[in-house]
Structure 1
């Protein structure tokens, strides 16, 4: 056994480098069957963030389907999703650069279906009877006014577009019954977000393809419906949180909503993107589903007739994108020790086949930190939750008596969730000697509707309190160094970061990734999907303008007393770059250390390998200068003003 070296936290040399992370890492999503063939999307940082449709044939052969320069990615709601469909070997997809729909026949070049223009498309289904696609459309041709969202049909031969459903602010999930006679869909209106309140509709499809009688099935402004699907025998299923948790239900012939298996667990994800799939049918009476309890996802089989739920033993703690065919299940799965991968489960034989991993990097377990779920006390006698990662590197120990620096991660959304899934970006920090906390603050998904609603009217307060309280909790337990506490977050998590740094004195440094500094500016200048989101999180604007001003870090830079680094995509339409630039100027004028790293060609979130690398190393370099440790690697310096 080789003796461990003694070195300060932060200065440990790690094999989990930024070069290794970006060189071998991809994102995987949207997996589905087309008969025996399996398709999924790969987001490839080394190809400029291009999303490529990949096919796996039954003989194990894998091939790229969409050629350069096509990028399979929708911009509906800006977050996209639901960007492709494959039926009988024919591929339909949305191309990112022009947002047109394309058709690609086997072994042929993609051909445009829709004309050039200002429409965007997502959530594609095929209407075989009418030889058309049905999908969500977002029309941006109305001269600066809010884009119009509708459900449309697109004739596969002519490309002719017809509006089937309109009148609401947002639509998702058009789903056609097996016999083609009924169309289900979801709608919602400002100021609701889809996890606040949605409605499920059911329309009769006439012989000419138009919609006849339409009825409201379920949902209201205080009930969130998601993921409508048709069973093989023509019953309409969906998830509803009417009882406080997203549980599976179905619509009976008598018009009654029946809950299949009431459980204090979430059988759905929040609808940030299209194409989510947390359950699938193997037969009319069997559903394979995934649900989350205490932040962990499990796979289960639900007997519809007996109303019995059976847990299926898998190693995965994060599960998504379920689909089924002929006794096989595909999913996207990961665990604290296994990176996200495309998985195929044979329900007949019990065999598990890994189709593609998000990274081929094999990490010695001695460098991996295993997350521990920490319930911690927070304001008003409540409990909140976080995943804690201790520093871990088999080659090093710290000098006796030294406590590690702590990086607190505030996730985006804010209606999102911290995951226990293996993240090499997290392990980058822990293997160098940082402790790491991924916080599921009040407002996060995965703990029921009441937990989500803790943030209503309290954004910038509850989330900040929870991030501060969990850091103090670890300091009080003498687990981390109270003088080396940092907080980092992106988007909404960037706002929480900036608010924590401005309105509290707990953290000694921070990093904002495309974060919000001016809530008023965000209320005035963001995209349609989130343009009224702040009404529930903060209050109506401009009626409650004073609250927006009081919670905007940009207005209180005199209270900021620690260094901050900002990372920003210059083409970000969700949080425009002027948000970061105003904060940087204010902090610079105050004389505090501040850095600004801007990336050409990046939107909301970074997709290019060189930028992901630069941001990761840049944040680490920033903390090394602020907290006074020497990195083991020779990192590219960044310009830190006022240092």
Structure 2
């Protein structure tokens, strides 16, 4: 029987235990002959990442012996930690950042020395029995690490011989099918790869060194993504030279556009190893592309230049790999759990190899996201996904409006896809609405939309989160007196700015968020150390802007409760940022809580910490918004409450 109860107090079968019980993170698909592999990040094992292959019955076999953990810290965000060639596994181990070689069933063998070197994005050179890989050298101690592309002999333990150097960053070293040419991406401060990077090409000389490098595409204002060699030896890549990440190739020394379209066939390279296209047995391209926040799958006929969409049930497609007539990808949807999915181009059949979670939840407790477009500052529009409250067992009293959590995603050059999320369902099944905002600066809407944030971080993103919340409140879909905002990392900065510089939100939660832009510019790791030049202004020349937009210097404007979550080993946003904010807000007499987590870095990977953070945020809102939570949640101290 349906019960009447206020929003926020609904009892839900979706518990934090359900969310973390068997859930895994899925990443880095690898294809090797007929074999499919993928990586699983396991919260129950402290976030350890394990290589898995299905056996003949379809059950997953763990190939990584404990305590090995496949994860690299190049650029801190990692990715590209795995390579498999003819059954031999090469991987980066998180604890020591050494590269290892492993034959299935055998013990991993170290290839690199136990010194401060990190590796990512390797390819195998079959003609010379070596790896070519990005190396990040931290042996100089307190100096900025040095990034290069190196060759790594497989005949004995070694740190690698430098092939390419001189730029601040490198990615995607890719050998031609005959191993005579190497292509790669490079860029330097203050650019991030999505601002602009260069695609270079060089001949591989008989001694394994490289000839003179040629600039093929890219520049300070052109972003290149995923250079890939076709089986017949042509170099393909994605470029945003038209304002959209589209497909190109080099034909007779000239850049050829393959299919101009107002869609994104690429994505920001926060991590190594991501892919959105690959080549079929007949030489065409299977590609993933996004429009208006929704991903699609298609086949591009390279003769007719016709793109045919593949009918499939997923809204998000990532890490796409193609071999023969098989397409393997990580996919998910608004009503589909993230999964490793194989699509057979010949038969049109789809097979799910691994679900991120095997829990089956009654659809009556799941909120279906609605894509919305709403007006924002400057006569512009912004985008978001709205998840309304959903619980088949409850209705709210007449006249009651739901509390709303506005989510500001990280990056900030990232995007929120429409995915089935039990973490979101935890909130919506208890009577909250969620607005997941793809504010100006997000990817998936073209370069012009992405560049709205340039020089305006802490302004445009905040405007869009505020206007999205007010848009729902005006429509009677949210209680304007119970609007909250939350976000992690860059989203945590947007959260802190919204709470400090605006009065729309009545509470907020910052997960490892930036409170001091100057401290971030000084203390963060190399990859992001000049990121703020474009988002805010040159540092220290525009110190005035850094101070003006740093919440820590303007706590007099903060008038509502806030909870802060922080990993104590975070190198991207150091813990002192949250600690300074906590002390400042506490001194103002405003309700505030600070929950640090030992052993966590930038993002929480341990099951008990994921559970604790989710429950603590809900408990915090129940106290400051004055409703009775249906669940028994472990209390904690909220200062000034």
TM, length-normalised to structure 1? 0.99
How does 1:369-448 map onto structure 2 within 5 Å? 369-448=367-446
Instruction: Indicate the larger mover: 326-335 or 287-296.
Output: 326-335
1:233·1:284 contact (CA, 8 Å) conserved in 2?
A: no
1:378·1:465 contact (CA, 8 Å) conserved in 2?
A: yes
How does 1:516-531 map onto structure 2 within 5 Å? 516-531=514-529
Q: In the alignment, what sits opposite 1:65? A: 63
How does 1:143-222 map onto structure 2 within 5 Å? 143-160=141-158, 161-222=160-221
CA distance in 2: counterparts of 1:542 and 1:443, whole angstroms? 23
Deviation at residue 285 of structure 1 after TM alignment? 2.9
CA distance in 2: counterparts of 1:638 and 1:25, whole angstroms? 26
Q: In the alignment, what sits opposite 2:627? A: 629
Q: In the alignment, what sits opposite 1:479? A: 477
Q: In the alignment, what sits opposite 1:101? A: 99
CA distance in 2: counterparts of 1:308 and 1:272, whole angstroms? 31
CA distance in 2: counterparts of 1:213 and 1:287, whole angstroms? 30
2:281·2:324 contact (CA, 8 Å) conserved in 1?
A: no
1:418-442 per-residue CA deviation (whole Å, 9 max, x = no partner) reads 1101111111110110010000000
CA distance in 1: counterparts of 2:323 and 2:545, whole angstroms? 52
CA distance in 1: counterparts of 2:137 and 2:76, whole angstroms? 13
CA distance in 2: counterparts of 1:605 and 1:323, whole angstroms? 27
What SS does the aligned partner of 1:297 have? strand
Do residues 451 (structure 1) and 449 (structure 2) align? yes
CA distance in 2: counterparts of 1:213 and 1:517, whole angstroms? 45
CA distance in 2: counterparts of 1:156 and 1:233, whole angstroms? 27
1:232·1:283 contact (CA, 8 Å) conserved in 2?
A: no
What SS does the aligned partner of 2:337 have? coil
CA distance in 2: counterparts of 1:225 and 1:64, whole angstroms? 35
CA distance in 2: counterparts of 1:220 and 1:498, whole angstroms? 34
Q: In the alignment, what sits opposite 1:314? A: 312
1:188-227 per-residue CA deviation (whole Å, 9 max, x = no partner) reads 0100000000000001001111101321100000000010
CA distance in 2: counterparts of 1:284 and 1:256, whole angstroms? 23
Q: In the alignment, what sits opposite 1:279? A: 277
CA distance in 2: counterparts of 1:565 and 1:137, whole angstroms? 38
1:21-61 per-residue CA deviation (whole Å, 9 max, x = no partner) reads 01121100111211111000000000000000001245534
Q: In the alignment, what sits opposite 1:331? A: 329
CA distance in 2: counterparts of 1:67 and 1:584, whole angstroms? 41
RMSD, matched Cα: 0.8
1:352-371 per-residue CA deviation (whole Å, 9 max, x = no partner) reads 11000000110111111000
Q: In the alignment, what sits opposite 2:224? A: 225
1:201·1:214 contact (CA, 8 Å) conserved in 2?
A: yes
CA distance in 2: counterparts of 1:642 and 1:341, whole angstroms? 44
2:140 to 139, 142, 149: 142
1:127·1:176 contact (CA, 8 Å) conserved in 2?
A: yes
Deviation at residue 346 of structure 1 after TM alignment? 1.1
Do residues 245 (structure 1) and 244 (structure 2) align? yes
What SS does the aligned partner of 1:437 have? strand
Q: In the alignment, what sits opposite 2:345? A: 347
Deviation at residue 349 of structure 1 after TM alignment? 1.3
Deviation at residue 185 of structure 1 after TM alignment? 0.1
1:493 to 491, 494, 497: 491
CA distance in 1: counterparts of 2:478 and 2:105, whole angstroms? 57
1:11 to 3, 9, 12: 9
1:542-577 per-residue CA deviation (whole Å, 9 max, x = no partner) reads 111001000010011111000000000000000000
What SS does the aligned partner of 1:200 have? strand
CA distance in 1: counterparts of 2:32 and 2:54, whole angstroms? 10
Deviation at residue 62 of structure 1 after TM alignment? 2.4
Where in structure 1 do 4 or more consecutive aligned residues deviate above 3 Å?
A: none
Gaps of 5+ in 2: none
1:555-611 per-residue CA deviation (whole Å, 9 max, x = no partner) reads 111110000000000000000000000000000000000000000000000000000
1:563·1:594 contact (CA, 8 Å) conserved in 2?
A: yes
CA distance in 2: counterparts of 1:416 and 1:310, whole angstroms? 27
1:364-383 per-residue CA deviation (whole Å, 9 max, x = no partner) reads 11111000011000011000
Do residues 574 (structure 1) and 577 (structure 2) align? no
1:123·1:135 contact (CA, 8 Å) conserved in 2?
A: yes
2:281·2:323 contact (CA, 8 Å) conserved in 1?
A: no
CA distance in 2: counterparts of 1:59 and 1:372, whole angstroms? 38
Deviation at residue 105 of structure 1 after TM alignment? 1.2
Change (3 A) 1:613 1:568: same
What SS does the aligned partner of 1:426 have? helix
CA distance in 2: counterparts of 1:435 and 1:636, whole angstroms? 23
Deviation at residue 66 of structure 1 after TM alignment? 0.7
Instruction: Indicate the larger mover: 505-514 or 208-217.
Output: 208-217
1:127 to 119, 125, 128: 125
How does 1:536-547 map onto structure 2 within 5 Å? 536-547=534-545
1:82·1:274 contact (CA, 8 Å) conserved in 2?
A: yes
CA distance in 1: counterparts of 2:469 and 2:34, whole angstroms? 49
Deviation at residue 157 of structure 1 after TM alignment? 1.2
CA distance in 2: counterparts of 1:638 and 1:463, whole angstroms? 31
CA distance in 2: counterparts of 1:178 and 1:30, whole angstroms? 22
2:19·2:423 contact (CA, 8 Å) conserved in 1?
A: yes
CA distance in 1: counterparts of 2:132 and 2:452, whole angstroms? 37
CA distance in 1: counterparts of 2:58 and 2:470, whole angstroms? 51
CA distance in 1: counterparts of 2:244 and 2:379, whole angstroms? 22
Q: In the alignment, what sits opposite 1:467? A: 465
CA distance in 2: counterparts of 1:621 and 1:156, whole angstroms? 54
Give the length in aligned residue pairs: 640
CA distance in 2: counterparts of 1:378 and 1:323, whole angstroms? 38
TM, length-normalised to structure 2? 0.99
1:11·1:630 contact (CA, 8 Å) conserved in 2?
A: yes
1:74-112 per-residue CA deviation (whole Å, 9 max, x = no partner) reads 000000000001111110000000000000012100010
Q: In the alignment, what sits opposite 1:502? A: 500
